[in-house]
With several copies, the nearest count.
Chain A
Amino acid sequence: MAAERMAMAKALNSSLRKALESDPKVLVMGEDVGKLGGVFRITDGLQKDFGEDRVIDTPLAESGIIGTAIGLALRGYRPIAEIQFDGFVYPAYDQIVTQLAKMHARSLGKVKLPVVVRIPFGGGIGAVEHHSESPEALFAHVAGLKIVAPGNPADAYWMLQQAIECDDPVIFFEPKARYWDKGEVDTAGIPGPLHAAKVVRPGTDLTLVAYGPTVKTALAAAVAAEEDGVSLEVIDLRSVSPIDFDTLQWSVEKTGRLVVAHEAPVFFGAGAEVAARITERCFYHLQAPVLRVGGFHAPYPPARLEEEYLPGLDRVLECVDRALAY
């Protein structure tokens, strides 16, 4: 039996190790990923075991990291690039949206870029500026990228495996506040499709969608709501591009109500796309407008204010109440 209880950080580390073992073309690269094992220790021990040639400390230049990862992919490698924190991905934004996302199309399919960009994202860790952002919408709008975010250790392990195997570029958002949360990981299991949403708690009164760090909050909200006699169906979206609208539709046709929770600012966030499309698909089923709860239209605040800024349990429940009030 390969099932084991482990933290998400460990699951990611095991998944990277597995990939490095199974495919000599897989590379890990980024700032401090070598001897230090990354600032979150996700790459701990990998350079020791696979060498400096495969686990590569890079100069401190994010555009350079992604740009050279593209070049390595053109040469037949499968680079997994780490961006140290969400707020440091922007210097690489041009390489990601203009080159990584578009080169397959530019070549009419002749070039494939199997590059994974790992980004620890989200807040709740009491950090200084730029260390707590949720930029997924800024990538989801861009065709040519796939965007996923695991919500638990098992998904972290398997979704990373699948992202590495994928022939398209994948932005892999890791909920850093959940790195040390533990869960069962069955490394011998057979994972479902990478881009499928999952009902992580069935319910009947309202569908609550979350991904990454907010899945835990959503589950807690469902427990709390149950005490109040309300049955929430919690869906872990898992993939932000593409979005599994079929699963959402199926759920909303049943519950008639939908709330979307994410840490990113609500304005132009993933919730907007979910709301727009589900409203179109379920117009006659919805008994309330799709409501969104998430970050405010403000830069991510200093640590002492992040509880106010983030969609915590109370704000999620208040939003659920509002949706139920229709």
Chain B
Amino acid sequence: MTVERTAPRAKPRRAATKKTTTAAARKRPPRPEMVQLLTPEGERVEHPDYALETTPGQLRGLYRDMVLTRRFDAEATALERGGERGRGPSLRGQEAAEIGSGRAVRDVDYVFPTSGEHGVAWCRGVEPTLLLGMFRGVNHGGWDPNSNNFHLYTIVIGSQALHATGYAMGVAKDGSDSAVVAYFGDGASSQGDVAEAFTFAAVYNAPVVFFCQNNQWAISEPTERQSRVPLYQRAAGYGFPGVRVDGNDVLAVLAVTRAAAEHVRTGQGPMLVEAYTYRMGAHTTSDDPTRYRRDEELEVWEAKDPILRLRRCLEREDAADEAFFADLERESDTMARRVREAIRTMPDPDGMAIFEHTYADGHTLVDEERAGYAAYLAGFADHGAGHGHEGV
């Protein structure tokens, strides 16, 4: 597998999307900066380095993944608007980047997400309602990363790139052929930790795919505030390949991530994938994108919607019938109900939970504070509602 490397350029070049191509042209298209296998119109295109064979069933599966992911995200966001606590980022628009990459890796591979890869979590088989605890404010994650080889969400941006690299160093020591995937955003690419992860991964030849979701924005800051050249180019300076893929094209993301995982697990060291996509919603429910971006931009990207695109492909290729779409809508509604129900019935943790899990092997101060707090609570039980002045 070869990966293009081009000289720095002030503005990213958009891959040309042709409506019609002759067979000859399809055989040897010019190598575009961004890998694309599916145009926004749902038409297949070929790429010299990345081929992908698909069955109609696989296409439907990817479509279902994306639809359910979007619905899950919408539901979680709506609950927050409805007054539920917590703030989580919305991934609307990034379903192809998440599902394509999530479906590219195997069970034995290991994924380090940043803090909102619900789509990847879905692919890993993580029970969706487990993801809600942290945004509902009942825990900070709390699932077992080893159950699905899906690490906890990491909120401090960039940190997990190092954890993934260390994990991959361990994989290499074990002689295992697992691939490790580290997700991060365009904004996070500026963090020193991500650069150090690049350095360590390259020097130790660690089997880690750095998967950067460039959704054009870091809250209110456009990607140009992080780099004046396309982000995938950063890899070359650290001695490993980088590639940009159309992040709204689930087939291209799947093919490229699969190739990247193969690259790293065959001992060639790390690889960077930049998925060029777009955050269609607000950063969080308390964000207000009208302050910093224009409606026209959203319109441009709505035309490239990853779900719409695959639907057009399914229709074009006659890979799905009406019943499929109707069934999926029902499934989606059911899932939404289940999410709402799960949120509604999610029990608040017991107050004493504060004193659990700070240490694995115990700590006398925690014991002392636990006992003190229990006595304090017992005081209320003895004397009624205490001073009754809670609420400041």
Contacts and interface: CB of A to CB of B under 8 A. Distances in A.
Interface residues of B, number: 88
B193 interface: yes
A110 B146 CA distance: 9
Interface string B103-137: 00000000000010000000000000000011111
A106 B199 contact: no
B223 to A, nearest CB: 10
B162 interface: yes
A307 B348 CA distance: 12
Contact of B389 (A91, A296, A317): A317
A50 interface: no
A302 B138 contact: yes
Given A75-B167, A302-B349, A313-B391, A297 B369 contact: yes
Nearest to B134: A128
A168 B369 CA distance: 19
B351 A305 contact: yes
Contacts, number: 283
A111 B145 contact: yes
A123 B161 CA distance: 28
B358 A303 contact: no
B387 A59 contact: no
A301 interface: yes
A104 B159 CA distance: 16
B392 A313 contact: yes
Nearest to B141: A106
A9 interface: no
Interface string A305-317: 1011100111101
A39 B310 CA distance: 35
A60 B155 contact: no
B156 interface: yes
Interface stretch (A12-20, A94-102, A251-259): A94-102
A58 interface: yes
Interface in A61-96: 61, 63-64, 66-77, 87-88, 90-91, 94-95
Given A53-B173, A107-B144, A305-B354, A67 B190 contact: no
Contact of B193 (A91, A298, A301): A91
A67 B392 contact: no
B159 to A, nearest CB: 6
A177 B358 CA distance: 25
B220 interface: yes
Contact of B361 (A87, A95, A168, A301): A168
Contacts of A302: 133-134, 137-140, 349
Contacts of A128: 86-88, 115, 134-135, 137, 140, 155
B386 A314 contact: yes
B359 A107 contact: no
Contacts of A108: 139, 141-142, 356-357
A199 interface: no
B141 A64 contact: no
A87 to B, nearest CB: 7
Given A32-B219, A168-B360, A70 B162 contact: yes
A31 B232 CA distance: 23
A60 B191 contact: yes
A267 interface: yes
A144 B358 contact: yes
B390 A60 contact: no
Given A35-B292, A68-B169, A314-B387, A109 B356 contact: yes
A130 interface: yes
B142 A305 contact: no
A72 B170 contact: yes
Contacts of A64: 162, 165, 190, 192-193, 196-197, 199-200
Nearest to A216: B392
Nearest to A166: B361
A289 to B, nearest CB: 15
A64 B169 CA distance: 12
Interface string B140-169: 111111100001101111010111111111
A200 interface: no
B156 A77 contact: no
A21 interface: no
B45 interface: no
Contacts of A39: 219, 286-287
B85 A303 contact: yes
Given A35-B292, A105-B358, A302-B139, 15 more contacts: A31-B221, A59-B200, A60-B191, A67-B161, A70-B162, A75-B169, A91-B192, A95-B159, A95-B162, A95-B193, A102-B140, A107-B144, A297-B363, A297-B366, A305-B349
Closest 6 CB pairs of A and B: A71-B166, A67-B162, A303-B137, A75-B170, A68-B166, A64-B196
Interface of A: 31-32, 34-37, 39, 53, 57-61, 63-64, 66-77, 87-88, 90-91, 94-95, 98-99, 102-112, 126-130, 143-144, 146, 166-168, 195, 216-217, 220-221, 224, 228, 241-245, 267, 296-299, 301-305, 307-309, 312-315, 317-318
